[in-house]
Amino acid sequence: MARRADHTRKELTELALNAGLELIRKEGFSNFSARKVASQIGYTIGTIYNVFGSYDDFILHINARTLDEWYGVMEAAIAADKGKHPLRAMARAYIEYSSTHYEQWIALFEHHMSHKRSLPKWYMPKMARFFALVETPLLPMLNNNYRKAKRAARILWAGIHGICVLSLSGKLDLVEADSAQILAMSFIDHYIAGLTCE
């Protein structure tokens, strides 16, 4: 079994994060534990908490990697769209990522901070930049009214996210609904049409 002296703190951080993310991908967040990660990399659970501070902080660092990866996918989708339909491009990328990376994607929403702790300051910008991607194409439609763009971005996110969850849980099939892609495009088109009529 490895000992703490076998790796630097930086190496141990990478080792734990890589193993933690892989465990979530393979077994899902419901089967995740810091103890499993510690055992897998040959360290004690105390070492994990010594490096990250707590279970919550360990999960947040793993989820931060997912957010970084996911954000890269969204940026690439916008770039490939070349400004034609950025909101549609983002919605397609959102649905695709949630489907192909389901376990790590859903871990972002299944984890809840313990003891009424707030999310740390370093984590917040990783989430906020997703909304900034949506707000950017909305601003010209709303006469550069940031307050309205911010609200609209969150409504669009809630709608697309809901469609993803219903689709991935098989609930759309139960009600014989269209595919997640078709529903998402229709939702965006109708919502934007309503915005521009205000």
Please calculate the CA angle 119-121-124 and round it to the nearest 5 degrees.
70
Residues 74-99: tens digit of each pLDDT: 999 999 999 899 999 999 999 999 99
In this prediction, residue 197 carries a pLDDT of: 62
| pTM passes above 0.75 | yes
7 pLDDT above the threshold of 90: no
Q: Is the pLDDT of residue 1 over 50?
A: no
Compute the distance between CA of residue 168 and CA of residue 95 in angstroms, rounded to an integer. Answer: 9
Enter the DSSP assignment of 5: G
- Find out whether 56 and 63 touch, Cβ atoms under 8 Å: no
Which tens digits make up the pLDDT trace of 20-68? Answer: 999 999 999 999 999 999 999 999 999 999 999 999 999 999 999 999 9
Residue 198 scores a pLDDT above 90: no
Residue 161 clears pLDDT 70, i.e. is over it: yes
Confidence of residue 2 (pLDDT cuts 50, 70, 90): very low
Q: Is residue 3 predicted with pLDDT exceeding 70? A: no
DSSP string covering 149-194, please? HHHHHHHHHHHHHHHHHHHHTTHHHHTTPPPHHHHHHHHHHHHHHH
Mean pLDDT for the chain overall: 92
174 confidence band (pLDDT: 50, 70, 90): confident
The type of residue at 146 is Y
19 CB-near residues (< 8 Å, 6+ apart): 37, 40, 41
Q: What is the CA radius of gyration of the chain?
A: 20
